[in-house]
Amino acid sequence: MQRKNSILKKRSRNGIAMIMAIAVLVIIATILALSLSLTNKTTQKTTDLYLYEQASILTHSAAEYALLKMSQSNQCSLPSINYSYNNIYDINTTMYYISTPGSVCETNTPAGHHFATVTYPGSNGTVIVDISVTTKNGISAEPIRYFRRTIQKL
């Protein structure tokens, strides 16, 4: 007498194959979703790093530009310079002057921009330049701000 085994019928093998195929598709879809998310984050970080490095370089250029503008105006009379670069960055430059008593800088400096009075004549005509470079709203996921302070001799 032969025993009939109902577990090994052809129909049940097709059902197991279908479940295994669905499981493989779910695993592949999960891996693809994770890789897409990682790619998106990497792209965003690369963009933010590029904007940060460009802001860093712009502070050096803004310092040079501020010195040029100070040399073109009356001595120690320029309090600040504000401008935009490529409609991406706002650049704000503020100058604070250091001078000896009775010098041209002490009389020409706008209110609030005279930093210190010194007695050493070699320090006369020195300026502290504060430069702030900030991205405009909507350029990056988080606003990028780079600040630089430099001391320059006029």
pLDDT at 10: 53
d(CA 69, CA 81): 9
d(CA 61, CA 22): 59
d(CA 51, CA 2): 78
pLDDT tens for 91-110 read: 999 998 888 887 777 777 88
pLDDT at 109: 80
**pLDDT, the chain, mean:** 85
Cα 141–chain centre separation: 10
pLDDT of 2 strictly over 60: no
